[in-house]
Amino acid sequence: MIEGIDHFVLTVRSLEVSCAFYERVLGFRRIVAPGRPTALAFGSQKINLHEAGHSFEPKAAAPTPGAGDFCLVTGRPIAEVEAHLQACGVAIELGPVTREGARGAMISVYFRDPDGNLVEVSRYREE
């Protein structure tokens, strides 16, 4: 019945700080449209950002900055991702470590965004 994820929502303290981080660190593209949530686009998905206290309806029951924990998939070698994160001044919290994703084994690194959301970037192992 479900084919994939179109978008998800993160509640953030500051739209500007969050957008700048994801644009600089992960190369996301900011989308701003009147009357719509600010979004960060990547691949064929996006993350909608709701600034704390200025959410769009409907919304989660208890939207809270820093409550997110999600995994993004890369086609780049994890060593390249690690080097890029370090060059951006982003502390790697864990990794590289082996994990099991939706499609099988992968190698992951974990770090936090400015709100404390846990971001996992993973690459599937070659078969």
Tell me the catalytic residues.
120
61 Cβ partners below 8 Å, 6+ apart?
A: none
Q: Is 2 left (phi over 0), alpha (psi -120 to 50) or beta?
A: beta
- How many other β-carbons are positioned within 10 Å of the β-carbon of residue 5? 10
